[in-house]
Amino acid sequence: MNKAYMGIDIGSISTKGVILDESYNIIAHDYLWTEGSPIEAVKKLIKVLKKQLTNNYKVIAVGTTGSARKLVGTLLGANAIKNEITAHAIGTLTINPEVKTILEIGGQDSKIIIIDNGVVIDYAMNTLCAAGTGSFLSSQAKRLGVNVEDFGNIALTSKNPTKLAARCTVFAESDLVHKAQIGHKKEDIIAGLCNSVVINYLNNVGKGKNIKGPIMFQGGVSKNKGVTKAFEKELEEDIIVHEYGHLMGAIGVAVIASKKEEKEFDFNIEDSEFETIGKECNGCANNCEIIRVLKNKELLDSWGSKCGKVA
């Protein structure tokens, strides 16, 4: 029986999962929408990964990353629970050890990671402004009546990209409507949106960072060829977009988990009933918000208590 390692990246918009063999090749993977329920999303994900996994493999380590990493890591009995910066860096360096800069744009946030000699030396995250994220592009795609999946190819047909306000979502949306009303072509507006995402990213997330090549672009937005082209123009560097760039966090945390103590994963977890209960403790002036996680009505773990008296 061959050993395998599972990594799961649970974000606010999407949930990604991979299973790697001992050489860190991907032998199962999937990407689905979180839809506001990380527990249900992970149960669906595990069901899909189980179907893809052949009988000659057994998962002996699990890692979680992303905004719901602690919750899902508790449910799955994860060997490793790591932040997104670490997971993306390890995943990227496993695939391409030469990378020095990671650009990542997801559904609701974005990040930049600077690497020197295989070590993260600087990073930044943006979780406040939506103007440089995938959700912004999705909303504008609906406004323009096109599929967001077609955005990149349409942008590449533009010969004169429209200049749009890039500072925030509100300004960009109102500017887009104005430019459409005065006659700008749809492909020019779409190219302008791709450019504005890049400018917003570099002015906020990338501000003051020493961006050097090789550069890898990750996250769902990396599939947008228009945004990739805009990055290449602004940075005057070739941009690497890996086939599994949207899964890099999951890959990284699977690699991290592989170095922990072996513990065979039970795929029957999809049949278990999970419940989270949140309550405010009024035992003192801290008023801590306690989160309890239950599996089949039994307490798995709890957190949030500053004094440790309440479980």
SS3 call for 53: coil
pLDDT of residue 298: 73
Cα dist. 184→160, 175, 179, 196 in Å?
10, 11, 6, 16
pLDDT of residue 309: 66
239 and 202 Cβ atoms separated by less than 8 Å: no
Question: Is the pTM for the entire model greater than 0.85?
Answer: no
pLDDT of residue 311: 59
pLDDT of residue 141: 77
Integer Cα distance of 284 and 279 in angstroms: 14
Cα dist. 308→86, 122, 286, 304 in Å?
28, 33, 12, 8
pLDDT of residue 155: 83
Regions of the chain short of the pLDDT cut 50: none
Structural domains in the chain, CATH included, are 2-91+250-271 (3.30.420.40), 97-241 (3.30.420.40), 273-311 (no CATH)
pLDDT of residue 132: 57
Residue 255, φ and ψ in degrees, nearest 5: -65, -45
